[in-house]
Structure 1
Amino acid sequence: MTKTIIITFILSGLAFNAQAYIGPGIGLGTLGIIGGLLLSVVLTIFAVFWYPIKKFIRKVKKNSEKEKSLNKNKKGDLWDKLTNLNIILLCSFIAYQVGALKQAGQFESIKSVMTGYADMHFVDEITTWTDQPEKVHNGYYVTCPSIPHENIAIAYLLNNNGEIAHEWKFDFNTLRNTKEYDEYLTLRNHSKKESFRPDCTDAHLMPNGDLIMTVRENHYTYGVFDYGIIVRLDKDSNIKWQLLGMFHHESELNDEGFLIATSSKLRDTFPLVDRTDKNKIQFIDMIVNIIDIDKGLILSSHSVTDAYFNSHYQNMLTTSYANKGHMLNRIKNGLDYYNGLHLNDVVYVEERHAQKWPLLNVGDILLSHRDISTISVLRPSEDKIIYARRGPWRSQHHIKLTDDAKITMFDNEGSVAIYDDKENKKSQVINTARVMEYDPQTDKSRIIYSGNLKSATRGSYTIFDDGSLTVTSREQSTILQVDSDGNIIWELRGLKERNTTNPYYKKFITTRFYTNDYADTASWLTETSTETK
Structure 2
Amino acid sequence: MPNFLSDKILFLSNFPHEINQFYRELKYWASGDPARLIKEKRIIEDNKIQSSFPNKEDSGYLLFSGLDSIEKKSVVKLIKISDGKEVIKWSPDWNLILKKSSQKKFSDYVTLESARAVHPILLDNGDIIFSAVTALVKMSPCSSEPIWLTDQIVHHSVEIDDEGNIWAPSVDDFTWDGLQKLKNSIRDDAIAKFSKDGKLIKKISIMKILYDNNLLALALGSNGYGLNPDPIHLNQISIAPSDTRHWQKGDLLISARHLSTVFLYRPNTNKITWYKTGPWLYQHSAKFVDDQKISIFSNNIVSIKKGVQGFLREEDINRVFLYDFDTNKVSEPYENLLKKDRPRTITQGRAEILNDGGLFLEDTEAGRYLRYSKDKLMWSKINYYDNNHVGNIAWGRYIYGADGERIIKIATSRCNSQELINVK
Bin of the TM-score, shorter chain as denominator length: 0.7 to 0.9
1: CA distance, partners of 2:411 / 2:264: 38
Q: CA offsets per residue over residues 362-418 of structure 1, 9 Å max, x none?
A: 322110011111101222223343322102111111111122131102111169xxx
8 Å CA contact 1:345–1:368 kept in 2: the answer is yes
Tell me the distance in 1 between the aligned counterparts of 2:206 and 2:350.
23
Structure 1 246/186 Cα, relative in aligned 2: closer, same or farther at 3 Å? closer
Q: Is the 8 A contact 1:319 1:340 kept in 2?
A: no
TM-score by length of 2: 0.74
Superimposed CA distance per residue, residues 323-365 of structure 1 (whole angstroms, 9 cap, x where no aligned partner): x48x74xxxxxxxxx22111000011232xx3231xx333221
Match for residue 211 of structure 1? 128
Report how far residue 429 of structure 1 moved: 2.6
Q: Does the CA-based 8 Å contact 2:68-2:385 persist in structure 1?
A: no
Distance 1:166 1:200 in 2: 15
Task: Tell me which protein shows more helix as a share of its residues.
Answer: 1
Contact 1:148 1:197 in 2 (8 A): no
**1:8-407 maps to which residues of 2 (within 5 A)?**
108=42, 111-113=44-46, 116-117=48-49, 127-129=51-53, 133-134=56-57, 136=58, 138-146=59-67, 153-160=74-81, 161-175=83-97, 178=100, 181=102, 184=103, 195-216=112-133, 228-237=134-143, 238-267=145-174, 281-293=184-196, 295-318=197-220, 324=225, 328=228, 338-351=229-242, 354-357=243-246, 360-407=247-294
Post-superposition shift, 1:428? 5.5
1: distance between equivalents of 2:97 and 2:393? 25
SS at match of 1:305: helix
Q: Is the 8 A contact 2:232 2:257 kept in 1?
A: yes
| CA deviations over 1:132-166 (Å, ceiling 9, x no partner) | 733x2x12221211457999541111111333222
For 2:108 and 2:204, locate their aligned partners in 1 and report how far apart those are by CA, in whole Å. 28
**What do the CA deviations read for 1:453-499 (whole angstroms, capped 9, x no partner)?**
111122223322322222111122111211212x2111211227687
Change (3 A) 1:515 1:189: closer
Shift of 1:524: 2.2
Query: TM-score, normalised to structure 1's length?
Result: 0.60
- AA aligned opposite 2:91: K
SS at match of 1:509: coil
Q: Which amino acid aligns with 1:116?
A: K
Deviation at residue 257 of structure 1 after TM alignment? 2.2
The 8 Å contact of residues 261 and 277 in structure 2, kept in 1 or not, is answered as: yes
Q: Corresponding residue for 1:464? A: 354
| Corresponding residue for residue 396 of structure 2 | 511
Q: CA deviation at 1:171?
A: 2.0
In the TM superposition, what is the alpha-carbon distance from 1:236 to its structure 2 partner? 1.2
Q: Give the CA deviation at 1:505.
A: 4.6
CA shift in 2, pair 1:151/1:391, >3 Å: same
Secondary structure in structure 2 of the residue aligned to 1:436: strand
**Runs of 4+ with deviation above 3 angstroms:** 127-130, 146-153, 175-178, 184-191, 265-275, 319-322, 496-499, 525-531
Deviation at 1:290, TM superposition (A): 1.9
Alignment CA distance shift 1:378-1:186 (3 Å) = closer
Percent identity, aligned pairs only, is 21
Q: Note the residue ranges of structure 1 that are not aligned, 5 or more in a row.
A: 1-26, 32-103, 122-126, 217-227, 329-337, 416-426
Q: Secondary structure at the match of 1:371?
A: helix
CA contact (8 A) 2:130 2:158 kept: no
In structure 1, the residue matched to 2:382 is 493
Counterpart of 2:234 in structure 1: which amino acid? L
In the aligned structure 2, how far is the partner of 1:289 from the partner of 1:395? Answer: 22
Q: Which has the higher contact order (CA 8 A, sep 6+)?
A: 2
Gap change, CA 1:524 and 1:305, over 3 Å in 2 = same
Any idea what SS the aligned residue of 2:95 has?
helix
* Distance of aligned partners of 1:165 and 1:270 in 2 relative to their CA distance in 1, 3 Å threshold: farther
Distance in 2, matches of 1:411 and 1:379, equals 24
Conserved in 2, the CA contact under 8 Å of 1:410 and 1:459?
yes
The separation in 1 between residues aligned to 2:240 and 2:288, in whole angstroms, is: 8
Structure 1 letter corresponding to 2:378: I
**How much is the aligned-residue C-alpha RMSD, in angstroms?**
3.8
Q: Is the 8 A contact 2:97 2:146 kept in 1?
A: no
The residue type equivalent to 1:478 in the other structure is R
Choose 1 or 2 for highest CA Rg. Answer: 1
Contact 1:258 1:290 in 2 (8 A): yes
Contact 1:148 1:498 in 2 (8 A): no
Residues in 2 aligned to 1:255 and 1:473: alpha-carbon distance in whole angstroms: 29
1:413 equivalent among 295, 300, 304? 300
Q: Given the superposition, is the C-alpha separation of residues 151 and 481 from structure 1 closer, same or farther in structure 2, using an over 3 Å criterion? A: closer
Please report how far the alpha carbon of residue 289 of structure 1 lies from its aligned counterpart in structure 2 after TM superposition. 1.6
1:169 alignment partner AA: S
- Quick one: structure 1 residues 236 and 307, their matched pair in 2 at CA, closer, same or farther if it must change by over 3 Å? same
